[in-house]
Structure formats: C-alpha cells, structure tokens
Amino acid sequence: MKINWGTGIVIAFVAFISFIMYFIITMMTDSTYDHDLVVEDYYKQELQFQNEINKETNAKSLVENISWKKTAEGLVIIFPENLQKENITGKVFLYRPSNKQFDFEMPISLSNHNLLIPDKRLLDGRWNIKVDWQYNGKNYLYKKEVLY
C-alpha cells in the first residue's frame, strides 16, 4: 500500500500530538515532578518588598552584621556582639528550595549572641536563611543562601 504525502503529514501530526500528550500526562500524574510555587502567598509577599529593602538597608548600616558558621551541633547564627542580646527579637525562617516540606521557622532566643539551629533539623544541601529581627524598635533583615 502506498501512502501519499497528505496521509504522511496527518500521520506526522498525530504522532507529534501523541508524543506531546504523553509528556503532559506524565508530568501531571507523576508525583516526582511536583513543583510548587516558591511561597504560597507570593503576591502578598511581593507587596512587602519595599519593606524588606528598608530592613536590609538597616542591616547593612550596622557596624557588624549577622554571620553564621557550621558546627558539629548544627548551624550557628551569630548576632553582633556590640548589641544587647536581651533586646534582640524576631524569627528565623529556613527555606529548602528543593522541598517545601522541610521549611521551618523558629523564634530568636539567644544564648551568648548565638542562635543554634540543630543539625537534626537540617539536611545536606542548599538552604535559604532569612533572619527578620528587631533591636530597640528598629527592624533588620538578613538573607543568605547556605550550602549545609
């Protein structure tokens, strides 16, 4: 049986559409390809962006900013020594880009200007740290990407 050029084009279109539909169905039904938004309330957070810029500017104007180091016990976030630790309040948010189920937030409770995030809470890989803190009524923000 001989296939003319019109039938060949139709067969090519059907094969191409079948190929594309296979990948669409695979991506929609397979849980390994689940990708969520970075955050659930993306637009709400976008409206707060100028506020974050102001907080980061405040943090950069400090004599000494927040730093961090990896230890055997976990990740230690070190607040400036020249500030009174009793007046530092806020929260630390750790975001795992590869899986939102590992994201967590914890309040700041300092011991000796250090905040320890236990090793058991952190998996190896990339983490985004966001420290939103206040000192004497002034707001500060520290953001860092960390490979743990």
Is the distance from CB of 123 to CB of 133 less than 8 angstroms? no
pLDDT of residue 100: 77
**pTM for this predicted structure:** 0.66
User: For position 139, what pLDDT does the model report?
Assistant: 92
Q: For residue range 94-124, what is the model confidence (pLDDT) as tens digits?
A: 988 877 788 889 988 887 888 888 888 888 8
Tens-digit pLDDT profile for residues 31-49 = 776 666 666 777 777 788 8
Instruction: Name residue, tokens 């990948």.
Output: 23
Class in CATH terms, 42-147: mainly beta
Q: Note the pLDDT of residue 19.
A: 96
